[in-house]
Amino acid sequence: MKKCTVIGGGIIGLSTAYFLNKQGHEVTVLDASMKDEGASFVNAGYITPSHFIPLAAPGMISKGLKYMFDSSSPFYMKPRLDPDFMEWAFRFFKSSTKKHLHSSMAPIYEINTFSRNLYEKILEETGIVSQFDSKGLMMYFQSEKAKIHEVKLADQAKGLFGIDTAVYDKNQIQDKFEPHVEMNILGGIHYPCDRQMTPGEFMRAFKNYLKSVGVTFEHKIRVEDFDLKGTEVSKLQTNHGSYQADEFILCAGAWSAKLAKKLNIKLLIEAGKGYRLDVFENTGVNMSAILVERNMAVSPMDGFTRFAGTMEIAGMNTRIRKERVKAIKNGAEAFYKDLKVPSYAVEKVAYGMRPVSFDGLPFIGKSDQVKNLTIASGHAMMGWSLGPATGKLVQEIVDDHPKSMNINAFRVNR
Ligand SMILES: Cc1cc2nc3c(=O)[nH]c(=O)nc-3n(C[C@H](O)[C@H](O)[C@H](O)COP(=O)(O)OP(=O)(O)OC[C@H]3O[C@@H](n4cnc5c(N)ncnc54)[C@H](O)[C@@H]3O)c2cc1C
């Protein structure tokens, strides 16, 4: 049994704590925050084996340049004279190639499917009662151009991984999937393999479960530095004293890069801000969906409907950009004819920082430099999906057990 300290209590940290505790380790989770906030609470809750294309993919160079000067666009990158950002941007565009796409699709699909199956197991084993919607995900489109693109992706999904998909026109969608809302769409594609959860509900229940089985949580503890003894971390320095352990796991989301830098480990991760609007009235929306032309998500959650989206790479800041929030509201109202997103939803908007790695793949593993530190971060738009698989892989790394899958694509020193 080892003493393990997990830095960060988002979905990656909690999943890691779960699998380490299950293996008999003594686990403490440290988190800088007191509140239920951030990416793991505001996300759209999708578990998406259907999404195997990394963010860094062909087309992102032209998209990035086009959107760089439009702060209401779905993908906004604000250039900064910061060497870390410049290196990240350089490596991001350098990774947006066909070669990288082809080598990334299989590992992303494999870890996604593994993770979806682990969510099912966790729910079964813990007895946690939380939404786990199995109706699948819809990709709704309004234009012929988007339809052609989406049909091509669906054919690729079927051809490469045997993913089941079906294309429907508007009338079929209204009859079969969305009988209670009038849609303004040309059609959609259904991916039955995907799932959707209510993140805040699950996070709270998961934390309570972990406490009940002996995991210790320390809130308002900000890790500030590491004490090294040879090639091992001996202690963490925090705003409230130091913490000793045998193994340390870095799961601090978008903040991971800054902490890793203290150990001379280069993690090219930028914060990618996204927003959510929650509507508590009955919207009639039945299916989880991505509104393709608006690049945004719609999730019928437990007790409310969530509209989420935008990717704003503009450094670590707490600013809420009104034009981006408005773009989410407008996008939703453009696809669901009678929907009016109430003003309280806009006023109570919340955001989260996605940890966006330079090549769209997570970092899962040990660095070459420090023996007893495992890194699990950089999951970008897939962190909710990949939580359980990441936690399981971290436990296998800590225990030096055979890995459930090949994790070479996720190695830290890349
Ligand atoms: C709008 C939006 C929609 C999304 N939708 C989806 C989706 O549908 N499906 C999907 O798979 N993913 C989605 N994502 C992405 C997903 O939410 C993230 O990838 C995931 O939550 C990242 O989890 P994490 O645990 O790595 O980071 P976080 O949830 O950010 O957790 C990191 C934790 O570390 C703590 N921390 C930071 N610094 C320190 C420190 N120095 N000391 C101690 N603690 C520290 C923070 O307080 C925080 O609690 C979405 C994200 C957003 C913003």
DSSP string, 315-341: -S-----HHHHHHHHHHHHHHBTT---
This prediction's pTM: 0.97
**Alpha carbons 180 and 190: distance in angstroms, whole number:** 18
DSSP states along 29-44: EEES-SSS-SHHHHS-
Residue 383 CB less than 6 A away from ligand 1: yes
**Alpha carbons 91 and 328: distance in angstroms, whole number:** 29
- Residue 36 has phi, psi (to 5 degrees) of -85, 85
CA trace torsion 112, 328, 90, 59 (10° rounding): 70
CA dihedral over 373, 370, 220, 10, signed as positive or negative:
negative
**Alpha carbons 91 and 242: distance in angstroms, whole number:** 35
Q: Using most ligand atoms within 8 A of CB, pick from 381, 393, 410 the residue to mutate for ligand 1.
A: 381
- Are the C-beta atoms of residues 286 and 300 closer than 8 Å to each other? yes
Q: Tell me, what's the pLDDT at 65?
A: 65
- Burial (CB count within 10 angstroms: exposed 0-12, middle 13-18, buried 19+), residue 126: middle
Q: Using most ligand atoms within 8 A of CB, pick from 40, 133, 321 the residue to mutate for ligand 1.
A: 40
Q: Tell me, what's the pLDDT at 68?
A: 64
Q: Tell me, what's the pLDDT at 69?
A: 63
- Are the C-beta atoms of residues 289 and 50 closer than 8 Å to each other? no
Q: Tell me, what's the pLDDT at 77?
A: 85
Q: Tell me, what's the pLDDT at 11?
A: 98
Q: Tell me, what's the pLDDT at 320?
A: 94
Residue 222 CB less than 6 A away from ligand 1: yes
What DSSP element (H or E) covers 132?
strand 132-133
- Are the C-beta atoms of residues 217 and 9 closer than 8 Å to each other? yes
Single-letter residue type at 380: A
Query: What is the residue with the minimal CA distance to atom 35 of ligand 1?
Result: 8
Q: Tell me, what's the pLDDT at 56?
A: 87
Q: Tell me, what's the pLDDT at 57?
A: 87
- Which among 122, 112, 292 is positioned nearest to 203, based on CA atoms? 122
- Residue 69 has phi, psi (to 5 degrees) of -110, 10
Single-letter residue type at 382: M
**Alpha carbons 405 and 390: distance in angstroms, whole number:** 11
Residue 177 CB less than 6 A away from ligand 1: no
Residue 300 CB less than 6 A away from ligand 1: no
Angle between the 98-126 and 383-398 helix axes, to the nearest 10 degrees?
80
**Alpha carbons 9 and 176: distance in angstroms, whole number:** 39
List CB contacts of 79: < 8 A, sequence separation 6 or more.
Answer: 68, 85, 89
Where do we find the tokens 């996070």?
203
- Are the C-beta atoms of residues 372 and 227 closer than 8 Å to each other? no
Q: Tell me, what's the pLDDT at 269?
A: 98
**Alpha carbons 79 and 331: distance in angstroms, whole number:** 26
Where do we find the tokens 């009104």?
322
Q: Spell out the per-residue pLDDT of the chain, length 414, in tens.
A: 999 999 999 999 999 999 999 999 999 999 999 888 999 999 999 999 999 999 888 887 777 666 666 667 778 888 899 999 999 999 999 999 999 999 999 999 999 999 999 999 999 999 999 999 999 999 999 999 999 999 999 999 999 999 999 999 999 999 999 999 999 999 999 999 999 999 999 999 999 999 999 999 999 999 999 999 999 999 999 999 999 999 999 999 999 999 999 999 999 999 999 999 999 999 999 999 999 999 999 999 999 999 999 999 999 999 999 999 999 999 999 999 999 999 999 999 999 999 999 999 999 999 988 999 999 999 999 999 999 999 999 999 999 999 999 999 999 999
Q: If you measure from the C-alpha of residue 3 to the centroid of ligand 1, how many angstroms do you get, rounded to a whole number?
A: 24
Q: Tell me, what's the pLDDT at 351?
A: 97
Question: CA geometry: angle at 41 spanning 37 and 45, to 5°?
Answer: 170
User: What is the atom index within ligand 1 of the atom nearest the CA of 351?
Assistant: 53
